[in-house]
Amino acid sequence: MGKLFLVSLCAGAALVLGACAEGEAEAVDRAFQGVNVIDETDLNGVMLSAADPNEAANYFARAVQGDPDRIDLQRNLAKSLVRAKRNTEAAAAWKKVSTMDGATNEDQISLADVLIRTGDWDTARATLDAVPPTHETYSRYRLEAIVADAAGDWKRADSFYEIAMGLTTEPAGVMNNWGYSKLTRGDYAAAERLFGDAVRQDPSLFTAKNNLILARGAQRNYTLPVMPMAQTERAKLLHTLALSAVKQGDVKIGEGLLREAISTHPQHFEEAARSLSALQNG
């Protein structure tokens, strides 16, 4: 009887210990699941922002195969494809995101953005039109302006550019876009003002500096404006100004500007040297 009691007691203890062990294991599993979620979130952020865009796209492509209903993974795949300049694939990815549960107006705007990159202007316009007018963001109005520009609707384009500028603390990019719109319309003075404003907002924006030179050259103003520029930048801008002068028929001025560009560049300026040689050889 004593032995039977001891066996029963041991069996009961074993069951209790087993239950405790199972409970502890479940707790540990839950804890590790929590860590895994945090680690995965961190890894997703690293892959999205810091990794090679093609590697990131491949990573998220594998991730969505394992969990295709997770909209955050689908978004990250679409963003990575855009970063990798795989715009056709990105358009398909954003279309999928926009149809999923939990899709937002910003997902629609991201879809419109990549459709513009692929040249699908009609679908991009329809996508933006489907976004409620109460959704007023910088990204939305920037794209609205670009679409209006492409359609030659200058009044709407100007209105949208102005609204977009008021919705961002970093307006240099939209100023540059608006200036380029004015440049293509032949409104060179307005373009020059906008490019100048863009450079003042962001002195590192070389595209705006180059566009500013194009606007001045179109007005036969062949002097560099006062603005911050490195020596290499100065040489490149002189080269742009020289080509503008030649295009206007001011060949001698263009030749002089090319010589100045070559002498200004801290290294051999092959492109300017070729332009000067071509000019001298008629």
Q: What would the pLDDT profile of 142-168 be if each residue is shown by its tens digit?
A: 999 999 999 999 999 999 999 999 999
Cα–Cα distance for residue pair 51/45, rounded to 1 Å: 9
Which of 195, 188, 177 lies closest to 244, judged by CA?
A: 188
Least confident of 42-56, 197-211, 251-265: 42-56
Q: Looking at residue 280, what is its pLDDT?
A: 85
- Is it the case that residue 20 has pLDDT exceeding 70? no
Quote the pLDDT of residue 39. 54
Query: Are 241 and 272 spatial neighbours (Cβ–Cβ below 8 Å)?
Result: no
Q: What is the mean pLDDT of residues 34-58?
A: 70
Tokens of 31: 């804890």
**Model-level pTM greater than 0.85?**
no
pLDDT at 43: 75
Residues 27-36: what's their mean pLDDT?
39
| Angle, in degrees to the nearest 10, between helices 121-129 and 105-117 | 170
- pLDDT value for 5: 38
Instruction: Read off the pLDDT of each residue in 61-85 and give the average, rounded to a whole number.
Output: 94
State the pLDDT at residue 50: 63
Q: Which residues contact 272 (CB under 8 A, 6 or more apart)?
A: 235, 238, 239, 242, 258, 261, 262, 265
pLDDT at 136 over 90: yes
pLDDT tens readout for residues 94-133: 999 999 999 999 999 999 999 999 999 999 999 999 999 9
Q: Which residue has the tokens 């092959």?
A: 270
Two structure tokens written together for 170: 């970093």
CA distance 241 to 223: 8
Single out the residue of 134, 146, 142 nearest to residue 164, CA to CA.
142
pLDDT computed for residue 3 by the predictor: 45
Is the predicted pLDDT of residue 269 greater than 80, yes or no? yes
Mean pLDDT score across all residues of the chain: 87
Q: CA–CA separation, 249 vs 257, rounded Å? A: 14
For residue 33, pLDDT beyond 60: no
* pLDDT value of residue 48: 79
Residue 41, pLDDT score: 59
Token code pair at residue 147: 């679409």
pLDDT in the model for residue 157: 97
The pLDDT-based confidence of 11 (bands split at 50, 70, 90) is: very low
Share of the chain above pLDDT 70, in %: 84
Is a pLDDT exceeding 90 seen at residue 249?
yes
pLDDT confidence band for 51 (50 / 70 / 90): low
